[in-house]
Every structure is written in C-alpha cells, then in structure tokens.
C-alpha cells in the first residue's frame, strides 16, 4: 500500500509541475487553455472554471494541456483570434513548450533544499578522515600497495578531507587511472591506481566497519544457528576477522560449507555452527546478516540547504548528461535505465526510508523528466521544438502530412523505449540482471 500510494504521489506531483509550466506560460501570453488534465483520458473527475476544464483522468502515466487552436488541422470559429496558439509567433509557442521541462527543473531545485533542511541520515564515518579500514584483495588499491590504516589525503591532487568527499571524488573520476596521495607508516606517498578493470568509483578501499550483527533475515542460516543482533564476530572458520567486508568475503566463498562462527556476546565468547546457503542469483554464499552501522542525522539551515541543494542538482544534471553522452557513444547501455516498474519500486523504498529520502528521489526524478522531455523525439516537448525550429528556418509551418508521419514514428520510438526499459525492469525484478 505504501509503495502504491507513494508512486501515485510521485507521478502526480511531477506531472502537475510539468503541465503547470505549460499552463502558466500560456496564460501569461494570453493563449487560451481549453483543458488542464493530470493523467490521460478517460476523465475521472473534473470541473470547469472560466474557459478551462480542469480534470484528473484515469491513466496516470502523463498529462496534457489542451491549448486553443493547438492542432494544425483544428477547426476554429475565428482564424484571427489572438488567443489561438497557432497564430502566435514561433518564439512564443516555443516558450509555452519549453515551460514544461523548465518547470520540472525548477521543481527539483526547490525540493532538493527542503531535503537538506528536513535532515538526512548518513553513516557516522562520513564526516571522519578517510582512514582505510579494509583493502579488498586484488583491487586497484591493493595492487598499488595501499594498506589498512593509510589516510587518503587527496584524489588527483584535490583534497579528500572526509569519507563523503572521497566517495564523491572517486565517483566522478574519469579515465583509466587516478592518483591518490596517502599518509601511512612510511610517511606521505603517491599511488597511481589502474582502474581499467574496476567498477566505476570502486578502487577497493572501505572505511572501518566492525563485523557486528545489526540485523538477521528470518529463515536464513545465521538466525537458525542462534546468532543474535549485537553479536560481534571474532572468527569464522577458524579465521580471525576484524572488518565486515573481510567476513563477508569468507561467507561468499563458503556456500554449503559448515564452519564455526565465534562471536562476542556482551562479555562472553560464544561458538556457533553455521552453513551459508547458495544464492542462485549471485552465486555467493549467504548467512542472512546485515551490519550494525552508526548513523547521524544532518540538518542544514535555510541558506546552507539552498546552496547544497543547488550544488547537488547541478551535480546530478552533470551525471545525467554524462550518461546520455556515454549512451550515444556506446560506452553505456540502455539496460542501466529504469522505467515505470523501477520508479514504482524505488518510490516505495524512498517513502519507507523517510521524508528526506523521498524528497531526494522526487527531486532527482523531476530532473530526469525535465531532461527527457527535451529529447528531439516527436510527441515529446523536444520534438515540438524541432518542428518550430524548422518552421523558423523555412518561414512556414511543416506540411501536415510530414508532421503526422514524424509524430507516428516518434510515438513508435517512445513506446519501444518504454517496452525495452520495462523489460529491463522485469529482469531486475526477477533476478535476471
């Protein structure tokens, strides 16, 4: 129920913001608006005020603003009526079309600061100096010679400062290598890391994280063996462990193997017998445990929240355009995109995580919707802008037949894109990807 309700709220707010942009610009320019609809027909409920019918329709995958004289073949009583959309110069019509995506961007830049004012829950180590707690064997960091206890000073010459800043800089690092300046037992040293075989932003170092049990999955081996929340793992299969990832690595490689798990429970050491089960999706062993992590809530005053909200949205826009560029150049895959099913799932997850996370997701999605609608595909706002650009160059509207063919092709491409993305969502949902 939470997921369904949050999905409806997310779509409703995003669609309303988008269509409100078209509506307000049309009204400001004196263009008649016949209908303002949230959702596509058939109509659910509505009312009329002045010349405009306001309604909510049954199909919640979009909305529309019906402008007076909008269709090129629309029959009108007075062809010279100044309230007709079709009689306006191309720049005014472009302003009405562009106002929808722009309103989505404005909405995102309004919501994101509220996210920072409400407060976000983050791991307590985020604000601490990036002292390495664990180095993954075989990772770029391990190959370079970085060891636990090393303090990362900078990434490509830019100060790291905290774990949060370090993660941000690693996620934005481009190219097949990067340079870390590290302070360790041998003093300050510079390491060149080869990232050619590493996942984006993952160099193989992690913050300190004790192997303490924060949660148990019902029915899994850990619960059946008698493991309790708060237990601190001392050894697994006779191998001493001091970091969660170190323990997880052993578990992942031990599916079906019975081993001794020694934990510290209060002041008492307890030995248990546990057999990790094979997870068919990942091919790894699982015990059904989650780490015990300390979190803090960050809240920012209005001025700082506005600055951080602006900065975060600009960063997200940059990442969005980078993804589009990589998609066009073949460096990224359409399988990384999410559609209605993913939005449905993540809406529920964000709502259950709290208001701050829900607002972040809403802002992020509004940015994506604003950018997506600017794609030069007929039936999207970007496609209409292409028509207007052609009209400005030719100094006459495109022929009706040409526009109809382009609209049909654009509609086909859009439906095809939605089907492919939905197929990806289904694969992710059932573990096929």
Kindly list the catalytic residues: 19
Q: How far apart are CA 160 and CA 180, in angstroms?
A: 9
Phi, psi of 214 (to 5 degrees): -100, -25
SS3 content of the chain, % helix, strand, coil (to 5): 45, 25, 30
By C-alpha distance, which of 92, 46, 48, 44 is closest to 69?
Answer: 92
Q: How far apart are CA 202 and CA 315, in angstroms?
A: 19
Q: Can you give the three-state secondary structure of 258-321, one letter per residue?
A: CEEEEEEECCEEEEEEECCEEECCCCEEECCEEECCCEEEECCCHHHHHHHHHHHHHHHHHHHH
Q: How far apart are CA 87 and CA 79, in angstroms?
A: 8
Name the residue with tokens 């300390």: 294
Q: How far apart are CA 70 and CA 84, in angstroms?
A: 7
């Amino acid at each position: 129920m939470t997921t369904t309700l949050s999905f409806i709220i997310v779509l409703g707010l995003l669609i309303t913001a988008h269509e409100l942009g078209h509506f307000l610009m049309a009204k400001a320019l004196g263009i008649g608006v016949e209908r303002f609809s949230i959702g596509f027909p058939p109509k659910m409920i509505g009312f009329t005020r002045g010349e405009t019918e306001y309604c909510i329709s049954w199909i919640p995958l979009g909305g529309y603003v019906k402008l007076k004289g909008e269709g090129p073949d629309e029959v009108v009583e007075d062809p010279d009526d100044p309230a007709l959309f079709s009689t306006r110069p191309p720049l005014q019509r472009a302003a009405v079309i562009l106002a929808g995506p722009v309103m989505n961007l404005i909405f995102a830049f309004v919501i994101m600061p509220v996210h920072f004012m409400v407060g976000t829950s983050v791991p307590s180590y985020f604000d601490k100096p990036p002292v390495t707690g664990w180095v993954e064997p075989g990772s770029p960091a391990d190959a370079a010679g970085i060891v636990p206890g090393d303090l990362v000073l900078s990434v490509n010459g830019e100060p790291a400062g905290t774990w949060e800043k370090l993660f941000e800089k690693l996620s934005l690092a481009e190219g097949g290598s990067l340079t870390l300046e590290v302070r360790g037992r041998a003093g300050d040293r510079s390491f060149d890391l080869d990232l050619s075989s590493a996942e984006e932003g993952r160099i193989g170092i992690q913050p300190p994280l004790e192997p303490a049990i924060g949660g148990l999955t019902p029915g899994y081996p850990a619960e059946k063996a008698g493991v309790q929340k708060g237990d601190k793992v001392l050894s697994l299969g006779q191998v001493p462990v001091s970091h969660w990832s170190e323990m997880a690595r052993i578990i992942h490689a031990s599916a079906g193997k019975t081993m001794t798990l020694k934990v510290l429970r209060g002041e008492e050491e307890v030995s248990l017998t546990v057999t990790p089960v094979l997870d068919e999706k990942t091919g790894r062993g699982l015990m059904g445990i989650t780490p015990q992590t300390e979190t803090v809530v960050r809240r920012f005053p209005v001025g700082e929240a506005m600055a951080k909200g602006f900065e975060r949205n600009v960063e997200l826009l940059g990442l969005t355009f980078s993804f589009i560029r990589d998609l066009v150049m073949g460096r990224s895959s359409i399988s990384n995109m999410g559609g209605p099913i993913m939005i449905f799932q993540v809406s529920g997850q964000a709502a259950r995580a709290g208001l701050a996370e829900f607002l972040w997701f809403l802002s992020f999605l509004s940015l994506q919707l604003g950018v997506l609608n600017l794609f030069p595909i007929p039936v999207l706002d970007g496609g209409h802008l292409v028509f207007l650009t052609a009209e400005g160059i030719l100094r006459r509207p495109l022929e009706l037949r040409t526009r109809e063919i382009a609209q049909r092709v654009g509609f086909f491409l859009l439906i095809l894109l939605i089907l492919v993305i939905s197929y990806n969502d289904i694969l992710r949902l059932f573990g096929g990807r």
